[in-house]
């Protein structure tokens, strides 16, 4: 049985949204030095983590 190694659907959406949110927030934090960006960085990383968890459950978990 071949496991699906590429995220698709909801998992891919969560991973990409989390990635874009965290990268954008890192850039904004670097440029503005506002503390609110730290929460958005953490939120983006959490959304990306959820995407990988969804992908892992759909593809059968760890090898």
Q: What is the DSSP string of 1-63?
A: -----S--HHHHHHHHHHHHHHHHHHHHHHHH--THHHHHHHHHHHHHHHHHHHHHHHTTS--
Q: What local confidence, expressed as pLDDT, does residue 40 receive? A: 96
Dist CA 63 CA 8 (whole Å): 18
Q: What local confidence, expressed as pLDDT, does residue 41 receive? A: 96
* pTM metric for this prediction: 0.83
1-53 pLDDT tens trace: 456 688 889 999 999 999 999 999 999 999 999 999 999 999 999 999 999 99
Q: What local confidence, expressed as pLDDT, does residue 39 receive? A: 96
CB half-sphere exposure, 54, CA atoms < 13 A: 15
> Which residue ranges make up each domain of the chain?
9-58
Q: What local confidence, expressed as pLDDT, does residue 59 receive? A: 79
């Amino acid at each position: 049985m071949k496991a699906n190694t590429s995220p698709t659907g909801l998992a891919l959406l969560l991973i990409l949204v989390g990635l874009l949110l965290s990268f954008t927030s890192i850039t904004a934090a670097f440029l503005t030095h506002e503390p609110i960006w730290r929460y958005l960085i953490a939120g983006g990383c959490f959304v990306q983590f959820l995407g990988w968890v969804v992908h892992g459950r759909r593809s059968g978990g760890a090898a």
